[in-house]
Amino acid sequence: MLVIVAPGQGAQTPGFLVPWLEDPVFAARLEWLSTVAGVDLAHHGTVSDADTIRDTKIAQPLLVGTGLVAALELFPHPSDAFERVGAVAGHSVGELAAATGAGTITAEQAMVLVRERGNAMAAAAAQTPTGMTAVLGGNRAEVLAALAEHGLTPANDNGPGQIVAAGTLDQLAALAAAPPAKARLLPLTVAGAFHTEHMAPAVGHVARLAKSVSVHDPRIPLISNRDGHVIHDGVEVLKRIVGQIASPVRWDLCLDAMADLGVTGILEMPPAGTLTGIAKRALKGVETFALKTPDQLDDARAFCDKHGEGSLIHATPTWRMVVSPSKGTFHLDSAAAEADVLEAGATLGDVASSRDRVVITSAHGGEIVEWLVEDGDPVSPGQPLVRLHPVGSYS
């Protein structure tokens, strides 16, 4: 099982695009996305210094644009990805690249959204002096208690021993004065408290724009930052990407979902290294591949061939299938069990686990062709639950 991941803000380094731009096809595609985003991505990925590419308005389009063009280098025929990739995920802004790779939105839509996301988040960050500090090590419960005591948000929960605290500079200073036992604090050079309530103004702006974005259901299972659930409804994917701006990134739960899916290989798109580093610590025995330069592409394709088994859902148009968002036990709704036709939004049942209980609804509705699970069956993330056809089209 192959999972492809896209990194978030902070992964970029000065000059990381230099070797990639030696390929004229890569350069031409990046120029097109630069035009859409209104940002000279080639310039910032080659000659701009660290302070410049740290700017939210530049960093976010740079990361998404790079990931999208590199994906076309890895899979020159995008349909090939559906034959190999079991799931996709993106950390923070990387979720836009992941959603595009899964076929939910187009590259052009992604670049407009990331442009507006970056601009809006930079503007929100300018309203109040805020920041972020990585808390490394320590007892998890004690770390979270210390953050709560100081009014800080665990904005990124990246897995064992790595939580990023976010809030006002005064709150972060208070944490630094009384850190949790056995924890090391690392202040991050970022513009503000991303993924907290301080970004609420940015959510409103991007949400208004998102109303005009047409979406498709993902053709590859997409693991959501919000809770690690596999999301198979395009409208819900976009809604979560917008809301994610002001809500914590639960990468720890994304890693749990990958384990539940049975991941054997994780490939990180450029600028790679951060997420594969986390995966090495959290998912012992899972192979990783950090795609950093184009001379690795042949090895990266071999890695994909080795681990790739394809998407569970790509062979059927995605609006015909409802899948489980997480691991647990499926409980079939009694009304759905008796129905021949489901209305859009109808409840199918729920998936219960030790962590939560998630109600499953049918986003599109249609005639029930067959149930693929029974009441009380154990299910895994992305597992198909029921096959549907549009009303009147099945015989």
Q: Any idea which residues carry the catalytic annotation?
A: 92, 195
Q: What share of the chain is helix, strand, coil (3-state, %, to 5)?
A: 40, 20, 35
Phi and psi at 164, nearest 5°, equal -105, 120
**d(C-alpha 149, C-alpha 26), whole Å:** 48
Contact criterion met (CB below 8 Å) for 351 and 379: yes
3-class secondary structure, 86 = strand
The answer, yes or no, to whether the previous bond of 24 is cis (omega within 30 of 0) is no
Tokens 């979720």: give the residue: 95
Q: Is the dihedral of CA 252, 253, 259, 262 positive or negative?
A: negative
Residue 41 identity = L
**d(C-alpha 294, C-alpha 76), whole Å:** 13
At residue 370's C-alpha, the angle toward residues 368 and 371, to 5°, is 100
Contacts of 393 (CB under 8 A, 6+ apart): 367
**d(C-alpha 52, C-alpha 57), whole Å:** 10
Taking residue 390's Cβ as centre, other Cβ atoms within 10 Å add up to 13
Contact criterion met (CB below 8 Å) for 272 and 7: yes
DSSP state, residue 264: -
3-class secondary structure, 378 = strand
Q: Is the dihedral of CA 112, 114, 115, 116 positive or negative?
A: positive
